[in-house]
Amino acid sequence: MNGFIYPNEAETAWGLLIVLYPYITGLVAGAFVVSSLYHAFGIEKLRPLARFSLLTALAFVLIAPVPLLAHLGRPERAFEIFITPNFRSAMAGFGYILLFYTGLLVVETWLAFRRDIVRRSEAATGLRRAFYSALTLGSRDVSERALRLDAKVIRVLAIVGIPSAFLLHGYVGFLFGSIKANPWWSTPLMPIIFLISAIVSGVALLIVLYIVATALRRQPLNHSSVAELAKWLLLFLLVDLTLEGLEVLSMAYENEEGWAIVSQLLTQKLAVSFFGIQILLGAILPIVVLGGLALTDRLGQRVRTTLSLGTALLVLVGIFAMRWNVVIGGQLFSKSLRGFKSFAPPLTGNESVVEALIILSLPFFLLALFAVLLPPWEKEAALEGAGVPEPTVTIPIPSRLVGPRAR
């Protein structure tokens, strides 16, 4: 510690788990947005990823409350939010937002996979048959008319889910932005920055997961889908970097009493994590690479995909650094604005690095389980259960190989 710090400020109340919480919820919102780009707006190049992104969002949203529950110490008390509701509390409101969004995501995922569930219930035997039969919920009509109705409902849910996903993660930024006593948090751009960075992280996550999953399955990669995701990643990343720059620039221009401590925070305590990891490695370098890929077509597909994968990994690290800089950075200076303290998470124990890594790994294991039970890769031309016919491939035959009778 250096400068003037009150004794009750020496302990950092929100540690690594609270950093992890907005990171996971951001991945949820971003993955759902990618799914909605196809379901709601009909971007065909993202069709092979539509159901996979739904499973990803579902796996991560089920784990999203775990960091908060682990941080509480008494996680069973979290249910008091529903038993004794307080509609004036922004923190209590998260329970209702998460519950609604999870329900919406479950219904949309079920509709997207309903045809496959019915087919598996008819083909399987024993316990698998009982499992998939229960999963049909008694709805076994997979006629063209029923599937088209499913597609319409999925589109409506995708449209409704977009503002719901925005609300799910934008509210996290609202919590920080509404704390007036902290000059590093209290900015009107905080909810928007959290929201856009969430979309950025979700798009980057899907690039990584899709490439890795395809390699593990030893299947051909759809390079056009990866290229389309890379373009959207570049777009959202440009918006995110612009908003973050505007936030710091506006604080510097206003030059209020809190800017003196914030400027020292950025140039001293957070110099590496903010300028080095978040801005340079997590934003500027990916923008340069993705911009180069968008402007040239001279590189081969494998090289472009490899660069997209590396860029997506850098973006994921940069977004995590952004969450760290906001959550931890806002607690490093005293309320008197006259001193700093240091923070390093413990390696083991409560609020430790090991605990955070275990929680972060849970949605990946859950996603792998979902992908085994409901593979999102099968028959991609008719993924959405919309009655779309199976694709037909026409192979041209040279006329010299066709006999006179065939002609």
Question: Residue 89's pLDDT is what?
Answer: 76
DSSP tag of 80: H
Question: Residue 178's pLDDT is what?
Answer: 78
Taking alpha carbons only, the member of 52, 47, 302, 97 closest to residue 202 is 52
Contacts of 50 (CB under 8 A, 6+ apart): 35, 38, 39, 112, 383, 384
pTM of the model: 0.87
CA atoms within 13 A on the CB side of 374: 26
Taking alpha carbons only, the member of 143, 241, 232 closest to residue 189 is 241
Question: Residue 62's pLDDT is what?
Answer: 94
Question: Residue 371's pLDDT is what?
Answer: 93
Using only C-alpha atoms, what is the Rg of the chain? Answer: 24
Question: Residue 381's pLDDT is what?
Answer: 36
Task: Find out whether 198 and 30 touch, Cβ atoms under 8 Å.
Answer: yes
Question: Residue 379's pLDDT is what?
Answer: 53
> Tens-of-pLDDT digits for all 407 residues of the chain?
676 777 767 778 888 999 999 999 999 988 999 999 998 888 889 998 999 999 999 999 999 989 988 988 788 887 787 788 777 777 777 778 888 889 999 999 999 999 999 999 988 888 999 999 999 998 888 889 999 999 999 999 999 888 888 887 777 788 888 777 788 888 888 889 988 999 999 999 999 999 999 999 888 888 999 999 999 999 999 999 999 999 999 989 988 888 888 999 999 889 999 999 999 999 999 999 999 998 888 888 889 999 999 999 999 999 999 999 999 998 888 877 788 888 889 999 888 999 999 999 999 999 999 999 999 985 543 433 333 343 333 334 444 444 444 44
Question: Residue 258's pLDDT is what?
Answer: 85
Question: Residue 396's pLDDT is what?
Answer: 43
Task: Find out whether 108 and 54 touch, Cβ atoms under 8 Å.
Answer: yes
Question: Residue 405's pLDDT is what?
Answer: 42
